[in-house]
Amino acid sequence: MKLIETGEKAPLFTLKDQDGVEHSLKDYLGQKVILYFYPKDMTPGCTQEACDFNDSLKKIKSKEAIVFGVSKDTQEKHKKFSDKYSLSFPLLSDSSSKVCEKYGVWKEKKLYGKSFMGIVRTTYILDEKLVVVERFDKVKVKDHVKYIVDNCL
């Protein structure tokens, strides 16, 4: 699947978070949505990104936006990750990778000469009508969240 382009309507989905609560994207019409896809809980880059979003939640909420982290990790792994770092936003479990595929972030990756399928770190910013207004591909974690908060909401 291809990445969703700016100007396109975001594909709808329903996923459960670390507490077993279902989140349907359509329920967030009227709010800006930051939807960030990340490879794996408890890894250095993913931990930094999650903590950066968490530290910026007050600013994000003040701009009438909500943030969701999405990975293939289970609800249980998300719960441990969320509890360990006191995260205050939903981490959505896409264990089937169907949502990752819809958003074009489930791709072949290479590491140490080996190929495998995985999530390419990508962030989508959706407007109040759930239309993609920004997309960040192959995200570098350093200063990513600060840039979004200062320039995209």
The residues that are catalytic are 46
Cα–Cα distance, 153 to 144 (Å, whole number) = 13
Task: State the sign of the Cα–Cα–Cα–Cα dihedral 38, 40, 46, 50.
Answer: positive
DSSP type of residue 9 = B
Give the contacts of 9 (CB within 8 A, at least 6 positions apart).
Answer: 129, 130, 131, 132
